[in-house]
Structure 1
Amino acid sequence: MSRAVRAGLDFVAALDRGSLGGLARLCATDAVWWVDSGPDRRGGDPVLSPEGSGRFPLHGLMGMDAKLALMRELGPGAFPTGCRQIPRRVVAGARDCVIEVEGHGVHASGEVYANRYAFVFDVDEAGAITSVREYLDTIHAQHVVGDGSAIPRTTTEHPPAPALPEDLPAAARSVLGLWVALAEGDLERFAAPFAPDATWWTDSGRDRRRGRLYARGDIAANGPFHGVVPIADKLAAMRARVGSGAYASPAIAVTPRRVIADDELVAVEATGEALLGDGARYQNRYLWVADVGPDGIRQLREYCDTLHVAELMGYDAEVAR
């Protein structure tokens, strides 16, 4: 087990116990914690907003000490009986890793909090965590944990594409090829790497049951917030959206920024940009985890800022549970 995986699993275990001291002991002194920021795209940009948005829970970049202090202040009152964190899958790198996690707790308001996360951990040479990047369903987080205040809409400027390693395994190259085809609006080429019985998962906003990872979702229920659906249904929905004039650009231009590959699992951190038909700029940040087998991509799990999707693309973030 790599240092990154050990540190990441220990972090999730400490989070599950509610041990803020345990979290602090796992981190380097200058460690940071990032969560995306909904419609406030600038607030989630670590370069343009190095102090974050100042808005909990969708806070952008925070120093680990400040994040833990906030959790110490809010946590006991917010979740009187705790909030469980159960690791599900790990994509291992030597100095970084991705851990998919399911969280569950009862908020002080009586609302059930049932989020699904992908945590990206970076560690230093000693195995101390230097960075935590947390991808989760921001609609659900804001609904249960947010203070109800409006989030302003801002835009950002994504940095230039980084150079990715040239010696990536074939599974990683097949996943990266998806985004070249999507940027050109070529959905037939986009579909080619998927296995015939592949599925696509994305979380489901207010309707937590639809987004369960081991249940059938519903592509027709509320646009992109569909849970696990067959790839044929997902592609049909994508073709309909591209053909509807929703985009002034060909489709969404996705820029991969980091790849972590481990046997048959491939994780890709990326940014996405599109000009919508009404002139608005769609600017999301993603973490995809792909299961890749001999017959192609078997499942794609998409973590992104769902609140930004809803706010920009005209979907209802308040669909009843």
Structure 2
Amino acid sequence: MDFITALDRGSLGGLARLCAPGATWWVDAGPDRRGGDFQAEGSGRFPLHGVMRMDDKLALMRELGPAAFPTGCRQIPRRVVAGDDACVIEVEGHGVHASGRTYANRYGFVFDVDAHGAIVSVREYLDTLHAQQVVGGNAEIPRSVVEQNGQPPGEAPAVVTTMWAALAVGDLDAFGALFTDDATWWTDSGHDRDRGRLHKRGDIAASPFHGVVAIADKLGAMRARIASGVYKSAAVTVTPQRSIADDTLVAVEATGEAVLASGRYQNRYLWIVDMRPTGIAGVREYCDTLHIADLMGYPT
């Protein structure tokens, strides 16, 4: 939480003091899938840069931040999922960009720490479509794919593994059976920031950038998308990379791949899964929305 406090205050020195030597900061990279690969050196392209050394990231923030956000950018923590050597903090950010546009993003920050409690890596999942629109300027991002990710499957709770095994073969009945009747699904909303507010009902007709929707509506939209022929593969094959469980919340980092009529889909996700004895009560899905918009033809 100290990291979010320092980020909120704009204290780059405070951020540096919380990090171990050699620490890194990752943000996904939109159409440049190679540039956002966890295992590759990032592009350094602001704000969607892949893996950067923490020193370089903070130097970039020091150079560009004051001009980009003259009055600062608030960071408000919402929920925490804590593990032994890692934690996830959900955050809402708000600021006014130098262009006059309002920046209102929702984040899932994943922190890995060493034995002394120093941060060794930060992975920042956010609405990349909104970030690029407000902060990224007009610079074009090159398109690329990762030929072979090379990451071994990680461990995840059985229910999470079951979720994505069902989805990979397009079995939405089995997928839906894992949820409670009143479950919800949230994903951020790209250009329409109001629709993606975490405590407001979204709009499934705007899929895939829909905000909070009932799981029954989400499943209906997923069935329609599969039936439309948008997928050349059965659906999205998701590989959990690791999970962090804390009481009723499970945070899962994962990668997903599919072959679409428009090209190869390769996303990286953070899911916050709200577990109940009767099933999954809610999912918050953080992923690279700019990659989705670019591949599916939505305005970027």
Kindly provide the amino acid, as one letter, of the partner of residue 197 in structure 2: R
Q: In the aligned structure 1, how far is the partner of 2:139 from the partner of 2:276?
A: 45
Task: Measure how far apart 1:313 and its partner are.
Answer: 1.8
| TM-superposition CA deviations, 1:233-273 (whole Å, max 9, x none) | 00000000111111110000000001101110001100000
- Aligned pairs for 1:133-282 (under 5 A) are 133-156=123-146, 157-164=148-155, 172-221=157-206, 223-278=207-262, 280-282=263-265
Query: What is the one-letter code of the residue matched to 2:298?
Result: Y
Q: Quote the residue 2:273 is aligned against.
A: 290
| Partner SS for 1:115 | strand
- Identity, in percent, stands at 71
> How far off its partner does 1:188 sit?
0.5
Contact kept? 2:154, 2:240, Cα under 8 Å:
no
Q: Does the 8 Å contact 1:158/1:271 carry over to 2?
A: no
> Aligned partners of 2:123 and 2:135: how far apart in 1?
18
Q: TM (normalized to structure 1)?
A: 0.91
In 1: Cα distance, 2:34 partner to 2:150 partner: 12
SS of residue in 2 equivalent to 1:11: helix
Partner Cα separation in structure 2 for residue 114 and residue 144 of structure 1: 10
Give the aligned partner of residue 316 of structure 1. 299
Unaligned segments of structure 2, at least 5 residues = none
CA contact (8 A) 1:161 1:256 kept: no
**1:137 aligned partner, one-letter code:** D
Match of 1:301 among 269, 278, 284: 284
Corresponding letter in the other structure for 2:226: V
- The structural deviation recorded for 1:295 is 1.6
Moved more, 194-203 or 153-162: 153-162
Map of 2:2 onto structure 1: 10
**Partners of 1:94 and 1:244 in 2: how far apart?**
44
> What's the CA shift for 1:163?
4.3
The two structures have a TM-score, normalised by structure 2, of 0.98
Partner of 2:33: 41
Conservation of the 8 A alpha-carbon contact between 2:154 and 2:239: no
1:4 aligned partner: none
1:160 Cα deviation after fit: 3.8
- What's the offset of the Cα at 1:148? 1.1
Contact 2:125 2:269 in 1 (8 A): yes
Deviating runs (4+, > 2 A) in structure 1?
Answer: 160-163, 314-317
* 2:93–2:105 CA contact under 8 A, matched in 1: yes
Distance in 1, matches of 2:81 and 2:92, equals: 15
Tell me the residue number matched to 2:92: 102
Stretches of structure 1 that go unaligned for 5 or more consecutive residues are 1-8
Q: Which amino acid aligns with 1:107?
A: H
Q: Which amino acid aligns with 1:238?
A: M
- Alignment RMSD: 1.0
